[in-house]
Structure 1
Amino acid sequence: MSAQHISVSVIVPVYNNAHTVLRALESIVRQTAQPLEIIVVDDASTDNSCTVIEKYIQNLPIAKLLRSTRNLGPSAARNMGWAVASAEFLAFLDADDAWHHKKLETQFVFMQDNPEFMISGHQYQVVPKNESPQDCSFEDFEVSTFNLRDFLIRNRFSTPTVMLRRSISDRFDETQRFSEDYQLWLRIIAKHKKGALIEAPLTFLFKSAYGAGGISGRMFAMYRGELANASALRRENIISLANSLIWRAWLTIKFIIRLASKPRKDAI
């Protein structure tokens, strides 16, 4: 792809990520297709994140730094970036993760060539602590299509894998701190009937995906967030009462299985 900037606004929420944010930003700068703009939103960090970011972007004209005066959570930070974004598409990258160098090019071309999709995601690679990502090359990949029922069974997207059309009217729910991204994907899929998953690992997660580990308290918070999603979608008649009850039961079963399969610290 040519060096011309593609119509993508990249939004990077930051909260006390001084030690990882440069890795995230460098993975954007190394893209084979450069975004129209990089919008970094600092969510009232108490470390030197802003100093690190300002120094890095001072010679990067496509990047800007927005600052929140209060810590409002990643949803508010993403919405703040969304409000000032100008490109046709939005992509989200967490400040402690990174992208494959062909992520934007691959996903942008797919979204342009398939205007019936309002949202797409792709696979990711979880990078163990103290290891480097396998920045593999690929030529061909499969694309899977999912409807609302598929997304109710399981969240198919991790936020740093998502690209969506800026024209979408829904936003991240700022009243939730857990599973609010999943709620947005569900709303989009419900309104626009389907989403696409590119079967290529174009994001590197330097933290475990939900369900792959972590403390029980965080798992319970995610479970409560998912139940809140069920209530919100039912309240707005996005799903029926019967489907809401079935979904709640399914979420509870999954939560119990996760707790049961979680390694115990006192296990021999």
Structure 2
Amino acid sequence: MRVSLPVGVAGAPTVSAVIPCFNYGHYLPQAVASVLDQPGVAARVIVVDDCSTDDSLAVARALAAADPRVTVLAHPQNRGHIQTYNDGLDLVDTEFVTLLSADDLVAPGALGRAVSLMAAHPRVGMVYGQPVEFVGEPPAGDRDGGAPYTWTRWRGTEWIRIATRRGRCFILSPEVVMRTEAMRQIGGYNPLLPKSGDLEYWLRTATHWDVGRVNGRVQAFYRQHEANMHATILPSMAADYRHRLLAFRYLEGTPAAALVGRARRALAREALGVALRELDADGRAEVARELRAAAVEISPAAASTRRARVLDSRLRRGSTPGHRLRAAARDLADRARWRFWVLTGVS
């Protein structure tokens, strides 16, 4: 890992934002404006409407009619989010590219910061940064990430080692900007992984390219609402761990194949920990049992760990004295990990 001070880039690099849309027409104008208003880059937008049943296509076409930098691809029938991503990426002819959900936003200046890093370091194939979650109206004005403005670069293999050690995806998605050359090399999103395609895509990129991060500046705004796709396609926390494993299993065919076992152990450990949190928060025992089953399915050795034994005892005995204190301690640990993620991009 290397941390350095940012440098500028000459000219105005070209960046395309692919915006897949299904029934998010009411969000489209804000998403498109957040891209076209970026300083220091020549930005374009490709809206791919996946046969929306609302007025999304009409909104997209109106935006295109008002600004030649916007183009629209309309699916005659619904093809699902993975094919929608890939169809939009196929149309990119700029040097850099970002994939932005129609309900999210690019932060002011984010594209220029990301492409400057890649222009300065040709081995970096993707750059991410801090996203900020919001509800309702998007945050106003520029934001900083609570740290000095710097760049971090990892060798791709180094970043993969961190991800497998933690068993996590450190990226929400709208904060990523890629070198189009890297996107072309690794291909499109995997249609067999509709629920963990993002994580697999970042791992695939890091197998071939270095990874960069913009520190100290917010790079995207991630909208939270009840129709968020991640909330509708994953039925449970246990399912999330299983699908994460499917993404990590991409590494089985790469020089990093030995790290898949580490990812399995990390996923199982986290699933057991979340099960204990569920009990400490007076949650449902059946949720804890589902998480335990997922942990053992992912890594059978998890059944004999101390964490599993504690969980089994808790499931037998129910609520115990001190569980609220344990919950409070875990909340503190969560806040510390969140802060570390904000500052470093990993957790």
Structure 1 segments of 4+ aligned residues over 4 angstroms from their partners: 137-140, 213-216, 262-266
Alignment of 1:1-268 (within 5 A): 6-127=13-134, 129-137=135-143, 141-146=149-154, 147-152=159-164, 153=166, 154-168=168-182, 169-170=185-186, 171-192=188-209, 194-199=210-215, 200-207=217-224, 217-234=235-252, 236-240=253-257, 242-258=258-274, 260-261=276-277
Which SS does the other structure have where 2:246 is aligned? helix
Distance in 1 between the 2:84 and 2:64 partners?
19
Say which structure is richer in helix.
2
Which SS does the other structure have where 2:256 is aligned? coil
Which SS does the other structure have where 1:251 is aligned? helix
Note closer, same or farther for the CA distance 1:31–1:259 as it changes in structure 2 (3 Å cut): farther
Flag the structure with larger Rg.
Answer: 2
Instruction: Flag the structure with more relative contact order, 1 or 2, with Cα contacts below 8 A and sequence separation at least 6.
Output: 1
Distance in 1 between the 2:259 and 2:12 partners?
43
Note closer, same or farther for the CA distance 1:219–1:15 as it changes in structure 2 (3 Å cut): farther
TM-score when scaled to structure 1? 0.85
Q: CA shift at 1:47, angstroms? A: 1.6
Instruction: Assess if the C-alpha contact under 8 Å between 1:73 and 1:174 holds in 2.
Output: no
Amino acid across the alignment from 1:163: V
Which structure 2 segments of 5+ residues have no match?
Answer: 1-7, 285-347
Q: CA shift at 1:135, angstroms? A: 2.9
Note closer, same or farther for the CA distance 1:125–1:36 as it changes in structure 2 (3 Å cut): closer
Identity, % of aligned positions: 22
Instruction: Assess if the C-alpha contact under 8 Å between 2:117 and 2:212 holds in 1.
Output: no
Q: Deviations over 1:200-227 (max 9, x none)?
A: 212111128xxxx968725344323211
Which structure 1 segments of 5+ residues have no match?
Answer: none
Distance in 2 between the 1:134 and 1:265 partners?
36
Q: CA shift at 1:136, angstroms? A: 2.7
Alignment coverage as a number of residue pairs: 258
Q: CA shift at 1:131, angstroms? A: 4.8
Q: Deviations over 1:163-202 (max 9, x none)?
A: 111112112112221120110110111222x311111212
Q: CA shift at 1:257, angstroms? A: 3.2
CA RMSD in angstroms, aligned pairs only: 2.8
